[in-house]
Every structure is written in structure tokens, then in C-alpha cells.
Amino acid sequence: MKVVAATFLKSATAAAEYPPPTLPEVAFLGRSNVGKSSLINSLLGMRGLARTSQTPGRTQLINFFEINRELRFVDLPGYGYARVPQAVRERWRPMIEGYLNRRSALALCVLIVDARLEPQPLDLTMYEWLAAMSRRFCVVATKADKLSRSQLLSRLSALRAVYGPGVLPYSALTRAGAEQVWEVIHAAIAA
């Protein structure tokens, strides 16, 4: 997709604050610092739209972005950040669950994992959760540029053994994998 316009729409915590469900939505999920903002920004070809970890203000909210007046990207708060207080962690689950369970506009969930790491317990929990919800989702393994070609191939086969054959390698640095991720997004919003 040629992104001609992408704008931050609004932040929300509860369903009453979501924008009207008038466009298909692609939701991004991952552990804090996994590279979620970088993935969103690089898919859109825009540097500062989703805030990277240096600016944590928006990170505990559900952020909606509108693209070409055609679809929305939904940046869900990162999970598993050790320094987040218990109270924040307790708010996280109903916030995410509420969105994933009930949002009619949700067309695709993108679960982002670190290409360098073994499947992480929290990622596995999230994966099982998504599978149980019968939502359409895909797994993207980011920071692939930090691995050599042979390391990446061996990591990918380990990740695919767990998350299924569809795991896509990605690099926000080089944009390698962007076309493949967009293909999955297009297929989901056309479905």
C-alpha cells in the first residue's frame, strides 16, 4: 500500500473512548521494547508517528492511527515490562482483553516477537490467547537485522516450530519484510 496519509487519531482505555468502528483495524501487540513502535513507523514510512520507547507517555493506552482513510493501526500497550507497577499491570489485561474480545472492526492482530530470542513465556501466553479467541493473527519476528543470515534461518525455524509456518522476519532498520507484512494486512482487510 502506498501510504499517503497516516495520522494519530486518539488514545483510549475503554470501549466508550474508541473511535467509531468505521474502518478495518490492524492491532499490534508485543512485549515492551520488542520494537512495536519501530515496526509501525517503518511500515508506514513515517518516523515519529508511533512513539518509540524514549517517550513512554502513550505506552499504557490504546492508540489509534488512521491510514489513507482506509484502515487503522491500533497500537496496544506493551506487556511484560518489569518496571511497570502492579496497578498498571492489573489495568492492562482488561484493557487489552476488552479490545480484542469485542472490537467488531478488528481484522488482524500482529503479534511481534524478537527474532533473536527463544519463544518467551509471555509471548507464548499471548499466542495461545489469540488462538483461543479465534481472531485472525500473524507473528512477526523483528530486529532480524541483528542476526546473521544463518542465525536468522535457524531462529526462524525454531520460532515457526512453535508459532506456525507463517512467522515473518522483519527489520525496522532496513524495512526487509515490510512487503510481506503488508500482504498479510491487505489479505485480512479484504476478507
Under the rule (CB under 6 A), what is the footprint of ligand GDP?
Answer: 30, 32-38, 52-53, 78, 142-143, 145-146, 171-173
How would you class 12 by CB atoms within 10 Å of its CB: exposed for 0-12, middle for 13-18, buried for 19 or more? middle
Residue number with the smallest Cβ distance to ligand GDP: 35
Which residue, 33 or 69, has its beta carbon nearer to ligand GDP?
33
Which residue, 30 or 102, has its beta carbon nearer to ligand GDP?
30
Cell numbers 522476519 label which residue? 169
Q: Compute the least distance from the CB of residue 20 to ligand GDP, in Å.
A: 26
Q: Compute the least distance from the CB of residue 36 to ligand GDP, in Å.
A: 3
- How far apart CA 100 and CA 141 sit, in angstroms, is 21
Which residue, 20 or 58, has its beta carbon nearer to ligand GDP?
58
The residue length of the chain stands at 191
CB atoms within 10 A of CB 159: 21
Which residue, 32 or 180, has its beta carbon nearer to ligand GDP?
32
- How far apart CA 24 and CA 129 sit, in angstroms, is 21
**32 phi/psi in degrees, rounded to 5:** -55, 135
Which residue, 107 or 152, has its beta carbon nearer to ligand GDP?
152
Which residue, 21 or 48, has its beta carbon nearer to ligand GDP?
48
- Measure the CA dihedral 162/166/171/177, to 10°: 170
Q: Compute the least distance from the CB of residue 159 to ligand GDP, in Å.
A: 15
Sheet holding 6-12, edge to edge: 6-12, 62-67, 71-75, 25-30, 106-114, 137-142, 168-169
CB atoms within 10 A of CB 108: 21
Q: Compute the least distance from the CB of residue 154 to ligand GDP, in Å.
A: 18
Q: Compute the least distance from the CB of residue 79 to ligand GDP, in Å.
A: 10
Q: Compute the least distance from the CB of residue 49 to ligand GDP, in Å.
A: 11
